[in-house]
Amino acid sequence: MLAYYGLFALQHRGQESAGIVASESGAPAFNAHKGMGLVSQVFQPRDLERLKGNRAIGHVRYSTTGSSNLKNAQPFVVDTARGRLAIAHNGNLVNAAALRAELEERGSIFQTTVDSEIVLHLLAQPASNGGGISSLRRLEGAFSIVLMTEREIIGFRDPHGFRPLCLGKLDGAYVLASESCAFDLIHAEFIRDVEPGEVLIIDENGLRSEWPFPKHRSSFCIFEHVYFARPDSNIGGTNVSMARVNMGRELARLHPAEADLVVPVPDSGIFAALGFSEETGIPYYPAFVRNHYIGRTFIQPTQMIRDFNVRVKLNLIRSAVEGKRVVVVDDSIVRGTTARSRVVNLRENGATEVHMRISCPPHKHACYYGIDFPDPEKLLANQCTAEEIRKYLGADSIGYLDVEGMVRSTGKPANEFCMACFNGDYPVPFDEKFDKLIMEKRGAKARLLEPPSERLL
Ligand code: AMP
């Protein structure tokens, strides 16, 4: 039940599928339930009743490798010579293709197309073949993982610490979650972040750490602070919402604007817009109103309701923006679709000027460590200069935060972060075959999502 609640708090990290595996400590029965969709859709009361046991791990999937189907939903369970194992993985392995080929050659039979399954097969190898915890050394890339064995819960982060993972305590028992907001929901006490490279083993005797990985510099994904993590989470001692307010303040100092109103793009731009407003003294007004209750819509795009899908999600308060010079703030521009439609909305509703402000630097490079960006040709800032972007969006001005201001906002030094999507500096080299896999997937997804070839400019 606690895992179920925890997954609700982490739903923003993945909406494709959800799953929980529960078991009684020391017993071989692992009870699993997984399904496609949101946590609220996947688990019915009877499913939760069947998840018996005193321990559980859960997962919400946001796919970056492997296709989107139930087979690839996590946690995975496998039977091995070392007993039963279940895994939930956040991140991306960058040497997945090579490891998989090697394991298949040695007789491993894979059930899924997801890189996470490789971890199970590695661990399951006999000790003589380099299996067990020390085998984790073979993994490269981004992995924050929780594993359940018949006697232990094991949580670990890759030695660069790309993705978050934290430790809490509830009624004398330890809990692990990607973000601290999950602990708030279940009234668990936050203890600390799991360290990059740390393997935490929790069993009846308590907690112990192992450090099987070679030491590396920390490369925490700065985009977690910008966009991905929930604002009520604390990561590395920094509250995410406060880092975002700081980003808005920095942005206002770098690219001030003469305007009457600061309007956030909900929900992603809210805290940065607040910071922008605080710094400039320009009033904050949440003029875009979001409908939180729509779920999936099945409305056919007929002529009359062509823009229903957009309008049902977001409406603009005309009387708030009419005749006003507006600064509109969002956290990031990927393909530019969101920003462009927000500028159109504002103009249609009578805004006299629209100044677009973005609380991170331009996204120019792909992410191989677990954030799903399209391939670089589809990233607006990879293809266009700031002036071309301004024109494409139809804005009066555009301003992005710079790397220095973004880093300062977190209160941490620059060398603790991965900023590859902004500066192309990749902390871990990636396997070209993996690269090809991810690109194929991105191509397929882009074809599904995008309107037929709209020229950027
Ligand atoms: P786009 O419309 O393609 O420019 O996407 C920009 C919007 O998507 C912004 O409002 C961001 O908050 C949000 N966003 C940024 N990165 C991601 C991501 N990796 N996955 C989903 N949404 C994102």
Q: Three-class SS string for 176-218?
A: EECCCHHHHHCCCEEEEECCCCCEEEEECCEEEEECCCCCCCC
Nearest alpha carbon to residue 262 among 192, 345, 349, 351? 351
**C-alpha distances in angstroms, 329 versus 225, 226, 360, 388, 399?**
16, 13, 11, 18, 10
CB 259 within 8 A of CB 325: yes
Distance 164 CA to ligand 1 centre (A): 20
Task: State the closest ligand 1 atom to the C-alpha of 331, by its place in the atom list counted from 1.
Answer: 12
Q: In what order do the strands lie in the sheet with 189-193?
A: 173-177, 166-170, 189-193
Residues of the chain with pLDDT under 50: 439, 443-457
CA of 269 to the centre of ligand 1 (A): 11
CB burial string 97-112: b at 16+ within 10 A, e below: bbbbeebeeeebeeeb
Asked if residues 19 and 41 have their Cβ atoms less than 8 Å apart, the reply is: no
Mutate to test the pocket of ligand 1, among 224, 227, 344 (most ligand atoms within 8 A of CB): 227
For residue 220, the SS3 value is strand
| Substitution site in 338, 369, 371 for ligand 1 pocket (most atoms within 8 Å of beta carbon) | 338
Domain regions of the chain by residue span: 2-216, 239-412
For the stretch 13-27, pLDDT in tens is 999 999 999 999 888
Q: Is the CB of 337 under 6 A from ligand 1?
A: yes
Distance (Å, whole) CA 374 – CA 438? 10
pLDDT at position 133, please?
A: 83
Any atom of ligand 1 within 6 Å of the Cβ of 90: no
386-436 confidence digits (pLDDT tens): 999 999 999 999 999 999 999 999 999 999 999 999 999 999 988 766 655
pLDDT at residue number 44: 96
In this structure, what DSSP letter does residue 10 have? T
Write b or e for each residue in 386-403: b if 16 or more Cβ atoms lie within 10 A of its Cβ, otherwise e. eeebbebbebbbbbbbbb
* 372 Cβ closer than 6 Å to some ligand 1 atom: yes
Cis peptide before 75 (omega within 30 of 0): yes
Give the closest residue (by CA) to ligand 1 atom 3: 335
pLDDT at 57: 97
CA of 215 to the centre of ligand 1 (A): 33
Q: How far is the CA of 228 from the centre of ligand 1 (A)?
A: 9
Q: Which CATH architecture has domain 239-412?
A: 3-Layer(aba) Sandwich (3.40)
Ligand 1 and 227: CB distance under 6 A: yes
Extract the tokens encoding 269. 């731009």
Residue 332 Cα to ligand 1 midpoint, Å, equals 6
Residue 325: CB atoms within 10 A of its CB come to 17
Question: What is the Cα–Cα distance from 174 to 151, expressed in whole angstroms?
Answer: 14
- Rounded to whole angstroms, the Cα distance separating 33 from 39 reads 11
Q: Are 290 and 266 in contact (CB under 8 A)?
A: yes
| Nearest atom in ligand 1 to 330's CA | 10
Equal fold, 2-216 vs 239-412: no
Q: How far apart are CA 235 and CA 180, in angstroms?
A: 8
CATH tag for 2-216 (out of 3.30.479.30, 4.10.91.20, 3.60.20.10, 3.30.460.80): 3.60.20.10
Does ligand 1 come within 6 angstroms of the Cβ of 342?
no
Angle, vertex CA 371, rays to CA 411 and CA 382, nearest 5? 90
Q: Closest Cα to atom 5, ligand 1: which residue? A: 334
CB contact set of 302 (below 8 Å; sequence gap of 6+): none
By C-alpha distance, which of 114, 90, 233, 227 is closest to 168?
233
Q: What is the C-alpha separation between 10 and 90, in angstroms, rounded?
A: 12
Count CB-CB contacts under 10 A for residue 331.
25
